[in-house]
């Protein structure tokens, strides 16, 4: 953890179809609002390569009214931070419509903005912390070793994780090229460090550091509006573009 506040980008993905378990809890409680899952990321420039969305199966989530038309899905903690950053009006106002277990959200279908594969599923990830961000994590297995290792676990043990294999069927998408690791940086580092699963916590921390530095300092965009530009140049431009389009907003903690 750094010293100053962490500047995240909060990415909004609209729910297009609830899982049956979520539908049962939520039915009749939204007042006709659209619901967006809100994920906090430090790498907005990778959002073209989303393959799914992660929640912590043992974490509690809420759906919070933002106005008459929209509601956000995240942890209560995340909603409170957003409220004090002026996302709700009046500032600080928290209007919780629903409480729901992460496990029940698994299998929900969402529409992820900017993603080359826009229709994605919500999947479980054990390492999602209730105490960080919004508790919702976009999965970009091309550039995040944690996301890649978790996706491989889910594919290998779909029954154990209580998921339909088709929900984990989207392959990593090349988004950033790095001189050392090629077009799929995270899978290359996971292989190099012989990481077997999301339970290899120590090696994954090392892989995360390597992937982050390599992508940021040496990466080149392979797709999107800023294709051909360095990641250092593109990062804030992608962020601004998403915020302009109202598909994202600034979130700090
Ligand atoms: B990042 P930091 Cl491609 N629990 O987004 C666990 N992890 C969380 C989280 C939570 N509650 N909230 C956010 N995160 C993840 C993209 C990404 C991320 C890539 C590569 C690396 C990377 C796609 N997943 O993070 O502890 C989110 O995943 C590694 C730095 O605040 C968020 O950015 O530094 C990152 O961790 C924030 O981690």
| Domain regions of the chain by residue span | 7-252
Domain 7-252 classified CATH 3.90.1150.10?
Answer: no
Q: Is 201 in the pocket of ligand 1 (CB under 6 A)?
A: no
The pTM score is 0.97
Pocket test for ligand 1, best of 4, 9, 37, 42 (most atoms within 8 A of CB): 42
- Check: complex ipTM more than 0.90: yes
DSSP structural state of residue 61:
E
Nearest CA to ligand 1 atom 7: 128
Q: Is 128 in the pocket of ligand 1 (CB under 6 A)?
A: yes
pLDDT confidence bin for 70, thresholds 50/70/90: very high
Per-residue confidence (pLDDT) for residue 85, from 0 to 100: 95
Comparing CA positions, the residue from 118, 98, 101, 99 lying closest to residue 110 is 118
Contact, 172 vs 184, CB < 8 A? yes
What are the tens digits of pLDDT across the range 187-245?
A: 999 999 999 999 999 999 999 999 999 999 999 999 999 999 999 999 999 999 999 99
What are the tens digits of pLDDT across the range 19-56?
A: 999 999 999 999 999 999 999 999 999 999 999 999 99
**Alpha-carbon distance 78 to 249, whole Å?**
13
pLDDT of 7 > 60? The answer is: yes
Q: How far is the CA of 32 from the centre of ligand 1 (A)?
A: 31
pLDDT confidence bin for 2, thresholds 50/70/90: low
Per-residue confidence (pLDDT) for residue 5, from 0 to 100: 86
What's the alpha-carbon Rg for the chain, to the nearest Å?
17
Mean pLDDT of 84-110: 95
Q: Is 67 in the pocket of ligand 1 (CB under 6 A)?
A: no
Mean pLDDT of the chain: 97
């Amino acid at each position: 953890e750094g010293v100053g506040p962490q500047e995240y980008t909060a990415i909004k993905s609209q729910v297009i179809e609830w899982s049956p378990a979520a539908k049962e809890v939520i039915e009749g409680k939204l007042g006709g609002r659209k619901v967006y899952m809100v994920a906090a990321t430090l790498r907005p420039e990778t959002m073209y390569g989303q393959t799914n969305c992660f929640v912590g199966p043992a974490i509690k989530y809420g759906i919070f009214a933002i106005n008459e038309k929209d509601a956000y899905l995240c942890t209560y903690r995340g909603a409170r931070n957003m409220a004090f950053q002026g996302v709700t009006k009046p500032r600080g106002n928290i209007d919780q419509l629903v409480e729901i277990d992460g496990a029940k959200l698994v299998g929900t279908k969402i529409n992820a903005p900017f993603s080359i594969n826009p229709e994605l599923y919500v999947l479980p990830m054990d390492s999602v912390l209730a105490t960080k961000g919004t508790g919702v994590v976009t999965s970009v297995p091309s550039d995040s070793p944690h996301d890649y290792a978790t996706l491989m676990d889910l594919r290998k043990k779909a029954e154990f994780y209580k998921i339909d294999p088709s929900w984990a069927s989207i392959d990593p998408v090349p988004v950033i090229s790095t001189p050392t690791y090629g077009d799929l940086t995270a899978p290359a580092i996971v292989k190099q460090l012989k990481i077997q699963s999301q339970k290899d916590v120590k090696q994954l921390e090392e892989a995360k550091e390597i992937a982050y530095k390599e992508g940021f300092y040496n990466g080149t965009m392979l797709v999107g509006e800023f294709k051909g530009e360095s990641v250092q140049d593109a990062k804030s431009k992608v962020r601004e573009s998403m915020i302009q389009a109202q598909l994202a907003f600034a979130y700090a903690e």
